[in-house]
Amino acid sequence: MWQQSLSQPFTGTRRIALHNNNVVGFADYGPAKDDDAPRAHQLYGLYILAAHHGTGLAYQLIDHILGPEPSYLEVFKDNPAPYGSTPDTDSCPTTNSP
């Protein structure tokens, strides 16, 4: 499904993670899409292949894509990744905290 999404035109900022010339993750970012958005900018999507979970790749993508403005991310209720993994924060510092 996400391969099809990556092939579509996109007007925001997109970063793609490669491993051995294969796409293993991506992040999409841009102006908030919701009228009642809590911030002016939004991380639209963040996806990492399961084989690369826990490697810090998501944090690297976030560090490379977010601008200096506070941003937000909507997380689907049934998405286990944000709740089931805790990165090594010493090696993967987060940035752009509101």
The DSSP code sequence of 2-42 is HHHHHTS--SSEEEEEEETTEEEEEEEEEE--STT-SSSEE
Q: What is the pLDDT along the chain (98 residues), one digit of tens a residue?
A: 566 766 777 778 889 999 999 999 999 999 888 899 999 899 988 889 989 988 999 989 988 998 788 888 877 777 665 544 444 433 333 334 33
CB 39 within 8 A of CB 71: yes
Domain locations along the chain: 2-84
CA atoms within 13 A on the CB side of 68: 0
Q: For the domain bounded by 2-84, which CATH number is listed?
A: 3.40.630.30
pTM as predicted: 0.69
